[in-house]
Amino acid sequence: MKSKIIKLAALVLAVIVPLYFTCSGNPSEPIEQQPPTMPPLSSMAMDFQFMETSVAESQAKSNWLWAAGQVALWSTALTVTLAVPVAAFAESFNHVPVLLPDGRWLWSYNFNLGPLQYTAELYGKVRLEGLRWDMFITQHGLYADFHWFTGVSNLTATDGFWLMNVRPLEPTPFLQIDWQRDSDDQNIEIKYTTVVPGDEKGSYIYQAFNQQLPYTGLYDIYRASSDNLVEIRWNRDTLQGRIKDPQHFEDDAWHCWDSHLDNSECE
């Protein structure tokens, strides 16, 4: 029995000691901690390129124009509302964080949005269930340390959510952003859901990119007040696609367009 214990102890040391010296060449030096992996910008900012194609109003393109219009309603509202927090988060990737005594990582930096100057402090904390993120923003001369959003992500930055407050004068949650992606960004999902109490609570726009032909992109747009779901599917390379909107078209059928964005028969 004694010989077995000695052999087991030797085996454990043989595994642990090389790992220790691999992490630190000098045993007296503390192992340097690495900052956590940050969620990508695509976890917060939805890609609205779908509706950026410029075409003249035409009945021949009415299906695509209606689809683009539904996306534009969300894009217009959110581009303005999320401008400051998205710009603050985007700038964080250009800076190196410091480790605070309480175990949190801090990204602290200044940034401009147009002529306006801001200071941002992004905190990241490793927890058992993943990472906790908190963004505080100061606009010089107007407000200080506004807690603009919080978030949670897993350690590999492939899944998580953000909870956005409206603005410094209205510090209440209004939007939850759920996101998911694979490690090589071949499949990306992001969903904006309104959380403000009222008729539109639960309304959302959901976007997904994948490699599943013929439609590699999709939007689902739900309006709670009318209980109406708009479904949009399109090919991001050829631009051909289809839309289903029971309220607008007064049916449950798909309405399609071709690669020239002209209305077409659905296969």
How does pLDDT run across 245-254, given as a tens digit for each residue? 999 999 999 9
Q: What is the pLDDT of residue 9?
A: 39
Q: What is the pLDDT of residue 160?
A: 97
The DSSP bridge pattern shows strands 188-194 and 170-181 to be antiparallel
How does pLDDT run across 72-127, given as a tens digit for each residue? 999 998 989 999 999 999 999 999 999 999 999 999 999 999 999 999 999 999 98
User: How many residues comprise the chain?
Assistant: 267
Q: What is the pLDDT of residue 186?
A: 75
CA within 13 Å, CB half, 205: 18
- Burial, 137: exposed, middle or buried (Cβ in 10 Å; 0-12, 13-18, 19+)? buried
First to last CA, the chain: 75
Average pLDDT, the chain: 87
Q: What is the pLDDT of residue 30?
A: 44
How does pLDDT run across 144-187, given as a tens digit for each residue? 999 999 999 999 999 999 999 999 999 999 999 999 998 777 78
Q: For residue 41, give both structure tokens.
A: 């910008």
* Distance (Å) of CA 18 to CA 11, 15, 242: 12, 6, 58
Where are the domains positioned within the chain?
A: 55-264
Looking at 14-28, 75-89, 141-155, 221-235, which range is the least confident one?
14-28
pTM recorded for the entire structure: 0.85
